[in-house]
Amino acid sequence: MRLIPILTAIVVSAILYLVVMERELLFQVAEEGIDPIRERVEQLTGDAPQSADAVADDATAASGDATPAAVAQQDAGPAIAVVARRSTARVVDSAVILRGETQAYRQVQMRAETSGQVISIPLRKGAEISKDQVLCKIDAGTRRSTLQEAKSRLSEARARVPEAEARVEEAKARLEEARINENAASKLSAEGFASSTRVATARANLRSAEVAVQTAKAGLQGAQSAIQSAEVAVAAARKEIERLTITAPFSGMLESDTAELGSLLQPGGLCATVIQLDPIKLVGFVPETQVGRVNLDARARARLASQEQVQGQVTFLSRSADPTTRTFRVEIEVANPDGAVRDGQTAEIAIEADGAKAHLLPASSLTLNDEGTLGVRVVGSDDIAEFRKITLLRDTENGVLVTGLPDEVDIIIVGQEFVTAGVRLDPTFNEAKP
CB 382 within 8 A of CB 392: no
Which DSSP state fits 311?
E
pLDDT of 265-284, one tens digit each? 999 999 999 999 989 999 99
**For residue 324, what is the domain's CATH number?**
2.40.30.170
Residue 420: domain span:
82-93+356-429
Whether 113 is in a domain gets the answer no
Please check whether residue 213 lies inside any domain of the structure: yes
Which of 337, 354, 371 marks a domain boundary?
Answer: 354
Q: Angle at the Cα of 53 (from 47 to 58), degrees rounded to 5?
A: 70
Q: CA–CA separation, 285 vs 299, rounded Å?
A: 16
Q: Is the pLDDT of residue 405 over 50?
A: yes
Question: Are 83 and 430 in contact, with CB atoms under 8 Å apart?
Answer: yes
Beta carbons of 126 and 252 less than 8 angstroms apart: no
222, 315: one domain: no
CA distance 319 to 297: 16
Rounded to whole angstroms, the Cα distance separating 21 from 371 reads 19
Please report the pLDDT score of residue 23 as a whole number: 65
Residue 27 pLDDT: 64
Domain boundary among 307, 327, 354: 354
- In this prediction, residue 186 carries a pLDDT of 79
Neighbouring CB atoms inside 10 A of 33's CB total 10
In terms of domains, do 212 and 148 share one? yes
On the CB side of 3, how many CA atoms lie within 13 Å of its CA?
A: 1
Kindly report the number of other CB atoms within 10 A of residue 263's CB atom.
13
Is 346 found in the same domain as 360? Answer: no
Q: Tell me the pLDDT tens digit for each residue of 12-34.
A: 777 777 666 666 666 666 656 55
Structural domain count, the chain: 4
Q: Are 425 and 384 in contact (CB under 8 A)?
A: yes
130 within a domain of the structure (yes/no) = no
User: Does residue 60 belong to any structural domain of this protein?
Assistant: no
Q: Looking at 173-187, 191-205, 208-222, 417-431, which range is the least confident one?
A: 191-205
Q: How much is the CA Rg of the chain, to the nearest whole Å?
A: 48
Burial bucket for residue 327 (CB in 10 Å: 0-12, 13-18, 19+):
middle
Judgement on whether residues 361 and 406 belong to the same structural domain of the protein: yes
Nearest CA among 273, 343, 272 for reference residue 105: 343
Task: Give the number of other Cβ atoms within 10 Å of residue 141's Cβ.
Answer: 14
Residue 363: which CATH number? Answer: 2.40.420.20
Identify whether residues 88 and 104 lie together within a single domain: no
Amino acid (1-letter code) at residue 193: F
Tally Cβ neighbours within 10 Å of residue 37.
Answer: 16
Whether the per-residue pLDDT at 250 is higher than 90: the answer is: yes
Say if strands 425-429 and 80-88 run parallel, antiparallel, or are unpaired: parallel
- Does residue 131 belong to any structural domain of this protein? no
Q: Within this chain, do residues 148 and 239 fall inside the same structural domain, yes or no?
A: yes
**Residues 157, 229: Cα–Cα separation, whole Å:** 9
pLDDT of amino acid 67: 42
- Residue 153 burial by Cβ neighbours in a 10 Å radius (0-12, 13-18, 19+): middle
CA distance 194 to 188: 5
pLDDT tens string 75-117: 546 888 999 999 988 887 678 889 999 999 999 999 999 999 9
Provide the mean pLDDT of the chain.
83
Torsion from C-alpha of 174, 176, 182, 187, nearest 10 degrees: -150
* Cα(189)–Cα(105) distance, integer angstroms: 89
pTM of the full structure: 0.54
Pick 59 or 126 by higher pLDDT. Answer: 126
pLDDT score, position 103: 93
Quote the pLDDT of residue 74. 46
361 with 414, same domain: the answer is yes
- How far apart are the C-alpha atoms of 80 and 77, rounded to whole Å? 9
Q: Are residues 146 and 234 in the same domain?
A: yes
The answer to whether residues 370 and 421 belong to one domain is: yes
- Among residues 336, 332, 283, the alpha carbon closest in space to that of 312 is found at 332
Is it the case that residue 134 has pLDDT exceeding 70?
Answer: yes
In a domain, 119, yes or no: no
Would you say residue 205 lies in a domain? Answer: yes
Question: For 238, left (φ over 0), alpha (ψ -120 to 50), or beta?
Answer: alpha
Residues 339-365 pLDDT 10s? 889 999 999 999 988 777 889 999 999
How far apart CA 124 and CA 127 sit, in angstroms, is 6
Q: What is the rounded CA–CA span in Å between residue 153 and residue 231?
A: 9
* 70, pLDDT greater than 50: no
The dihedral formed by the CA atoms of 294, 295, 297 and 301, expressed in degrees to the nearest 10: -10
* Confidence category of residue 71, pLDDT binned at 50, 70, 90: very low
Q: Is residue 115 part of a domain?
A: no
End-to-end CA distance of the chain: 66
Percent of the chain surpassing pLDDT 70: 84
Q: Assess whether 350 and 389 both reside in one domain.
A: no
Q: How many residues does the chain have?
A: 434
Tell me whether residue 414 is exposed, middle or buried, using C-beta atoms within 10 angstroms of its C-beta: 0 to 12, 13 to 18, 19 or more: middle
Residues 37 and 24 in one domain: yes
pLDDT band at 238 (very low <50, low <70, confident <90, very high): very high
Q: How confident is the model at residue 51 (pLDDT cuts 50, 70, 90)?
A: very low
Q: How far apart are CA 365 and CA 388, in angstroms?
A: 12
Structure confidence at residue 31 (pLDDT): 59
Final residue before a domain boundary, out of 310, 338, 354: 354
Residue 41 and residue 89 in one domain: no
